[in-house]
Each structure stands twice: as C-alpha cells, then as structure tokens.
C-alpha cells in the first residue's frame, strides 16, 4: 500500500532519528567491550572470561559480520517494504562493519601476532581462513574511504556503485572466513552464511514495478 507523501521536514526528522538510533545501537557492543577491558585492567574480572584476547577477537569479528549482514539487508528491506528512509542508515552500517573489522584485525595483529608483519604474512600464505578474512578486510578499505558524499560525487554515481558492489565479495569472504575457522561441524557460521545467501537471493528477484527506491541522502542502490 503506498504511503501518503510526507512533508520534507518530517522525512528528514525521521531519517535523523533512524541514523541516531543506529549510531547508538551499533556503538553499544564497542562500549561494552571497552567497559570489560576497563574492568579487566582494574579489578581483574570481566565478562570476557579467562582468555580475554581470544574473546575480544571473536567478539569484534562477530560484530563486523553482523554489521555487514545488516548493511546488506538495507536495500532489500527498502525495496520490499517500500520504506525508503531506511536507506539512510546503510552508509553508517557499512562504516561500522569497517570499524569492527579493523578492530578485529588490530587485536589479532597486536596480541596474536605481536605486531610482527612477517608472522601475519606467513599466516595469510598458510591459512586459508586468514587469507580470506584478510582479503575481505583489504576490500573494505576502499569502500570505507569512498563513503563520503564528496567521494561519491568525485567518482560519479555509476563508478561508485560498481566499486561498492565489492561488498558482495566481502560478504562471501567473511562468511567463508568464519566457516573455515571453526573446528568440527558447527552450526553457527552456517547461520551467518545462510542469512548472507538469502540476502543475495533477494537481489536476484527481478523488479516488476516501480522505480528504484532512492533517497537524497545516499547513493543509488545496488542490485
């Protein structure tokens, strides 16, 4: 059912609320992590358990993947619900993906590899799950770097969009990274991979009616 058109100011307010809410919600895991490290370094006890490094690496990795799947869920949601204001949070979700993925890497690099580039290179060459994870992280960098309105303008919408389709490859790499990482047959990484697959399949459904849902605040949607 088409919504009645809203006044411009009203829509802007709705988008602002959405953005603020998203910003706070996705910041919460990071706040929690910082708090736990605060407890750990002062009182010695934290919810991170007895192997806080491993727990933190796992935690940031999982949140990077969750943020990524949320990012990928935005355009199908906008398309099928026709609730276009939701498009306004996509960029922020993408940047959170990058933030958590970068933290995930920094913890691995700092504590597991103790800042040894040679050890990281050896890991990338030897271990498939590291190779794929690192690939995903490297692909995220140009996307994060071209997230501003200025970058979109400089690149031009079409080229920007082509570049940002890399997010599908990143999603596949991230899911494979998790699947290969766990020991034995574990369900959890397959749940994430399944959600990713579903979000990809939704994009294959041909558009029958209506123009692309777009908003003034963000770039054209992908397919």
Partner 1 sequence: MLIRSRPDWWLPERAATPESLYLNRRQWLTGSGLLGAGLLGGGLVGALTATPAHAAAPALPALRHTKGLVTTDDALTPYEAVSGYNNFYEFGTDKTDPAANAGTLKPRPWTLAVDGEVSKPTRFDIDALLKAMPLEERVYRLRCVEGWSMVIPWVGFPLASLLKQVEPTSKAKYVAFATLNDRTQMPGLRARVLDWPYVEGLRLDEAMHPLTMLVVGLYGRVLPNQNGAPIRLVVPWKYGFKSIKSIVSLKLVERQPPTSWSRSAPSEYGFYANVNPKVSHPRWSQAKERRIGEFFRRDTLMFNGYAAEVAGLYKGMNLARYY
d(CA 172, CA 186): 18
146-151, Cβ contacts within 8 angstroms, sequence gap of 24 or more: 147/91, 147/94, 147/95
By CB under 8 A, is residue 185 in contact with partner 1? Answer: yes
Q: Please select the residue that binds partner 1; options are 69, 73, 92, 123, rule is CB under 8 A.
A: 123
DSSP letters spanning 94-153: HHHHHHHHHHHHHHIIIIISTT-HHHHHHHHHH-HHHHHHHHHHHHHHHHHHT-SHHHHH
Q: Please select the residue that binds partner 1; options are 5, 34, 42, 114, rule is CB under 8 A.
A: 114
- Using the contact rule CB under 8 A, the part of the chain among 5-13, 123-131, 146-154, 157-165 near partner 1 is 123-131
The residue written with tokens 């991979």 in the block is 193
Size of the site for partner 1 (CB under 8 A): 23
Residue 216's contacts (CB-CB under 8 Å, 6 or more residues apart) are none
Closer residue to partner 1 (CB): 32 or 168: 32
Binding string, residues 146-165; x marks residues near partner 1 by CB under 8 A:
--------------------
Q: Which residues between 46 and 65 bind partner 1 (CB under 8 A)?
A: 49-51, 53-54
- Minimal distance in Å, beta carbon 196 to partner 1? 21
Q: Which residues between 63 and 102 bind partner 1 (CB under 8 A)?
A: none
Closer residue to partner 1 (CB): 18 or 180: 180
- Using the contact rule CB under 8 A, the part of the chain among 4-12, 22-30, 142-150, 175-183 near partner 1 is 175-183
Encoded tokens for 178: 């998790």
d(CA 147, CA 218): 10
- Site of interaction with partner 1 (CB under 8 A): 45, 49-51, 53-54, 111-112, 114, 119, 122-123, 126-127, 129, 181-188
């Amino acid at each position: 059912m088409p919504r009645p058109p809203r006044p411009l100011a009203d829509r802007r307010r709705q988008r602002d609320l959405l953005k603020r809410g998203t910003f706070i919600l996705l910041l919460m895991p990071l706040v929690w992590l910082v708090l736990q490290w605060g407890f750990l370094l002062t009182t010695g006890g934290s919810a991170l358990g007895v192997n806080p490094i491993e727990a933190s690496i796992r935690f940031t990795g999982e949140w990077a993947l969750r943020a990524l799947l949320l990012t990928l869920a935005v355009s199908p949601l906008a398309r099928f619900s026709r609730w276009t204001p939701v498009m306004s949070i996509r960029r922020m979700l993408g940047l959170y993906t990058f933030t958590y993925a970068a933290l995930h890497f920094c913890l691995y690099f700092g504590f597991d590899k103790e800042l040894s580039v040679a050890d990281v290179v050896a890991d990338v060459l030897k271990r498939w799950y590291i190779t794929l994870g690192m690939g995903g992280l490297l692909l995220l960098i140009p996307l994060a770097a071209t997230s501003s309105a200025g970058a979109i303008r400089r690149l031009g919408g079409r080229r920007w969009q082509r570049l940002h389709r890399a997010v599908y490859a990143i999603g596949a790499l991230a899911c494979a990274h998790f699947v290969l990482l766990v020991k034995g047959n574990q369900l959890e990484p397959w749940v994430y991979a399944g959600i990713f697959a579903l979000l990809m399949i939704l994009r294959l459904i041909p558009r029958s009616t209506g123009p692309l849902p777009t908003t003034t605040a963000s770039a054209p949607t992908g397919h």
